Chain A
Amino acid sequence: MIVEVKGVRKTYDNGVEALRDVDLSFPKGQLSTLLGPSGCGKTTLLKIIAGLIPKNGGEVLVNGKAVHGPGPERAFVFQDFALLPWADVLRNVGFGLELRGVERKKRDEVARKYIAEVGLKGFEHRYPAQLSGGMRQRVGLARALTVDADIILMDEPFSSVDEQTRRKFQEDLLDLLRHHQKTVIFVTHSIEEAAYLSDQIALLSPRPGRVSKIVRPAVDRSKSPDEIRRDRGYLDTVDEIWGILRQYV
């Protein structure tokens, strides 16, 4: 287990209890998803694991050590992309390295590599305003990859793009992860997406957020993307999850 969450609690300033006694473990090298309806605290939990917001109780362990803030072993991919509008793609992708003081030549080199890997080769000198939503998120993902973190945290990364782009993105993400041994913690509200991508799904119930069930989709990932979406295991997983979540809607 590379990341462990033990007894985490969080209450917002306005008194709303967001998370109550959350216990979760995330296996190394696998893609785990936090899934649930809006208001269940999944993004809050992700940001607590990332060290971006403080918790009111419990602890988060990474590689056995407690963490209290952001760290080099965790990289975050934002829902609204969070790209610098005045910087081109090359600079945006290299921004994580820039903050670490890596010199220009080295960072550009690393950035170019990952820009190509996410499929944006040729767009190095475009600006975010010139890119579509899907392309902007690829920049965000490339940025997270350049810092070579073991754990990538993704906050509903595909929710701001259209359905077709989203599907392609999911396929490309799985492809990418096959080449890089990363642990991914993923937040989404889409059951299909969770079932398609995950090795492990933690279902969260809302108000206050708690883990209600952990599901391990029995999906045969050796098949082609389209075949997976018709795989028996995949469809059963989707039904099972919906059966649990519908009571919270």
Chain B
Amino acid sequence: MRGWQLASFALFFGLWELAGRWPVSAAFPPFSAAFLALVEMLRDGSLLKAYLITLQPLALGIVLCAVAGIGFGIGMGLSRSVEWLSLPIFIILQAAPMAAIIPLITYVYGIGLTSKVLAVIMLAAPVIVMNSYKGIRNTPPSLLQMCRSFQGTRRQEVMKIVLPHAAGLIFTGLRLGLAMGFIGIVIAELLITPTGIGDLITYNSSVADYPKMFAAIASIVALAASALYLLERLERRWFP
């Protein structure tokens, strides 16, 4: 597999280099230029500083989402009345373009950390809740009957069967939630006020330093991809 992966990288970056040298647009730098810009931003610390700012609301939002979202999703799975009230809402929220509401948050909460954390939560919560809910609901009926045949109480049923079984999907929900969180923080930084990575992107765009702009964008895409890849490996190891 190693060989193919290297070829894959080479193909992508090779095409990028060629496309950059093609005189179609001045705004599209070749890969080499972007790479050099990345190195420079790493060296002068601007990239690191930007991420320290950007990752704060992301981490905060995801942690809050995880605790509240998983709890709520489990509640939805275990209680028919909670399910009845919340399921249609979350189904709609999953399909809805939440980005439209993000500018509105700034009116109430300003342009600071709170708004950005809220943006992350708004995008990540639906998928975390829905996956936790599905994990609970999809417990194999055969296992539940088995528990009942040994006269297990409802509490034992939940603690020893439903929850352990749901753990896999809950973790998947967290992984997908993190993906949505990245999307949320990027949108927030591009729409609300540019800070951190968003700032690097918009600033360099405005001064036409396209290699740096591309480098910043590539870095966040790469960061998101790596984080998600790690989580997927963990998921496959823990929940075969």
Contacts and interface: CB of A to CB of B under 8 A. Distances in A.
Interface of A: 50-52, 69-72, 74-76, 78, 80, 82, 84, 86, 95-96, 98-100, 129, 147
26 contacts: A50-B149, A52-B145, A52-B149, A69-B151, A70-B148, A70-B150, A71-B151, A74-B149, A75-B149, A78-B142, A82-B140, A82-B145, A82-B146, A84-B143, A84-B161, A86-B164, A95-B160, A96-B150, A98-B160, A99-B150, A99-B152, A99-B153, A99-B156, A100-B151, A129-B240, A147-B150
Q: Summarize B's interface: helix, strand, loop or mixed.
A: helix
Given A98-B160, A99-B152, A82 B143 contact: yes
Interface string B148-191: 11111100100011001100000000000000000000000000
B146 A76 contact: yes
Nearest to B164: A86
B50 interface: no
Nearest to B141: A82
B145 to A, nearest CB: 6
B147 interface: yes
Contacts of B143: 82, 84
Contacts of B146: 76, 78, 82
Given A82-B142, A84-B143, A129-B240, A76 B160 contact: no
Interface in B38-92: none
Nearest to B161: A84
A147 B147 CA distance: 13
Interface of A: prevailing SS: loop
B: interface residue count bin: 10 to 19
Given A71-B151, A147-B150, A78 B145 contact: yes
A97 to B, nearest CB: 9
A73 to B, nearest CB: 11
Contacts of A72: 151
Contacts of A78: 142, 145-146
Given A82-B142, A82-B143, A76 B164 contact: no
A50 B156 CA distance: 19
B212 to A, nearest CB: 49
A75 to B, nearest CB: 7
Contacts of B148: 52, 70
Interface pairs A-B: 8 shortest CB-CB = A82-B146, A76-B149, A96-B150, A99-B152, A82-B142, A99-B150, A70-B151, A70-B149
Interface in B109-167: 140, 142-143, 145-153, 156, 160-161, 164-165
Contacts of B145: 52, 78, 82
Nearest to B238: A86
Contacts of B140: 82
Contacts of A71: 151
Contacts of A75: 149-150
Most buried by A among B145, B146, B153, B156: B146
